[in-house]
Amino acid sequence: MKKMERNDRELIGRGQGSGQLVLLRYSGDVTTKATPTRRRFVQRMARNVKDALRSVGVVHTLTRTHTRIFVELAEDADGRGLDALARVFGVQSLAPVVERAWQSLDDVVAAGVELFADTVRDKSFAVRARRVGDRRQIPVRSDDVQRSLGALLAPHARCVRLDDPEVTVAVELMPGRAFFFRESVPAHAGLPLGCEGRAVALVSGGFDSPVAAWLMMKRGVSLDYVFCNLGGRAHQLETLRVMKVIADRWSYGTRPHFHAIDFDDVTRELQAKVTTRYWQIVLKRLMVRAAEAVVAERDALAIVTGEAVGQVSSQTLPNLAVISAASRLPILRPLVGFNKQEIIDLSRQIGTHDLSAKVGEYCAMVPSKPATRATLARIEAEEADIDPNVLERAIAERSVFDLRTLDLESLDRSDIQTERIPQGAIVIDLRSKAAFEGWHYPDALFLDFQTAMRSYPQFDREQHFVLYCEFGLKSGHLAERMRAEGIQASHFAGGFKALIAWARRQGVATPES
């Protein structure tokens, strides 16, 4: 977003230096709605604005009107508040403003000269004025304000230039109040996030799926994310970092969850039962079914993917039709007509580009001669021998992260990692109940991750706790939180596989043995 210039920051407050007063304009998607719908959308947008400012630690007060939202920021010297406001969907543009009371044209013009005489000095300028709200209660015309204020500012300036001036003097008139500012800062418009319900997005961490998620959020759809993990801990951590950016920068007013499903056994089953050239299509259908299961649990209405027609072999139109048939839910593909470069350019704007560029592509499931015109009958025949319990078990054993509260830095802290279980330590298994019952370290306690995150402050501070999970991500997050509370905690950084290896060295019976 465009940063505020110093002069913009000087024109702030209600004329008394009480703080920054920021005017937010509604997008056309909001203003064109019928009154009840518009009221609902504006209420939702106000809620999201408050969450945005709380998230960046800016104290504020908010006033909502039929035509505008006004936010007074107690202090925003570094621009965090303005940057966050520009990322609230449903906001068309925003501007720091100075408010003045007025009764006549002379009042408006006098205030404008007071505020802008020094600003336009020796520069080209233009005056833009508009009336907002019930114009019957605004007894002056916009043209009159522009001509009168422009005439009195002209002696201070180098010249009047209506096209591309160096300084734009802007005035918005409401009944009894005038708001003065320089150029507006464009925001991203769209619909307030959350006003169009919830969907579940399939994500991989590359360029496409985060951009697809962002575009759906711009249309008011709040999202949860399903990640079908093909590449182990590194792939999951890379994707978490990408989606954490989407959650922290763009998900104001919502609490997106990241559902990580270990697809290792699923891909083994697929490779054993399916003809090689159909691997990619069947894999995508299994991912769609995984997303469908999460949709049912999260009261969502659709599945979102980052597919674009013809981008890769599995995304030809015939193959997309076959993939769509895997679910009865609508599958939304906001990138369907995008070129790759357009997607990459959007990822830079969103803030995910650099992280997505580091995410490696999992190549083991890419056949040398993939099918490009699969038929539903052939794919269903290929799937007939796949054991459905393998996918069901993977879904049941998935890890779920609250992205807004997740501390990624804790996942790589060496001081809370361990490669052994000390004598007398209490071992906690954070995997699913089904995984725990399949095998767990002797005498380990089962505690699902969400329950553990709520209850750890009550743990005994005299005890030493060792945590483990699938990849060492949930356990690292919880161990860091426990340490912050003064609880002795460490975790197996390599996750379940590292624990199995250590247990085998100690002579403990493991699943393989």
As a whole number of angstroms, the distance between CA 382 and CA 120 comes to 72
User: Are the CB atoms for 32 and 64 separated by under 8 Å?
Assistant: no
3-state secondary structure 94-123: EEEEEEEECCCHHHHHHHHHHHHCCCCECC
Beta-strand relationship, 177-181 and 91-101: antiparallel
Which residues does 495 contact at the CB level (< 8 Å), separation at least 6? 233, 468, 469, 470, 471, 472, 473, 475
As a whole number of angstroms, the distance between CA 159 and CA 156 comes to 9
Tokens matching residue 89: 């969907």
User: Are the CB atoms for 66 and 133 separated by under 8 Å?
Assistant: yes
User: Are the CB atoms for 72 and 61 separated by under 8 Å?
Assistant: yes
As a whole number of angstroms, the distance between CA 449 and CA 247 comes to 20
User: Are the CB atoms for 394 and 263 separated by under 8 Å?
Assistant: yes
* DSSP symbol at 174: E
Beta-strand relationship, 167-174 and 177-181: antiparallel
Tokens 């962002």 found at: 214
- As beta bridge partners, residue 121 has 157
As a whole number of angstroms, the distance between CA 252 and CA 270 comes to 39
User: Are the CB atoms for 49 and 88 separated by under 8 Å?
Assistant: yes
Give the DSSP letter string of 474-507.
HHHHHHHHHHHTT-EEEEETTHHHHHHHHHHHTT
Which residues does 22 contact at the CB level (< 8 Å), separation at least 6? 70, 71, 72, 73, 81, 82, 85, 94, 95, 96, 97
363 labelled catalytic:
no
**Residue in 394, 374, 256, 402 with CA at minimum distance from that of residue 317:** 374
As a whole number of angstroms, the distance between CA 398 and CA 136 comes to 60
As a whole number of angstroms, the distance between CA 102 and CA 272 comes to 78
Tokens matching residue 240: 């978490």
At residue 147, what are phi and psi to the nearest 5 degrees?
-70, -45
- As beta bridge partners, residue 22 has 71, 96
The count of residues in the chain is 513
- As beta bridge partners, residue 96 has 22
Q: Annotated catalytic residue: which of 159, 228, 363, 469?
A: 469
216-234 core/surface letters (b: 16 or more CB in 10 A; e: else): bbbbbbbbbbbbbbbbebe
As a whole number of angstroms, the distance between CA 50 and CA 144 comes to 37
Catalytic residues: 469
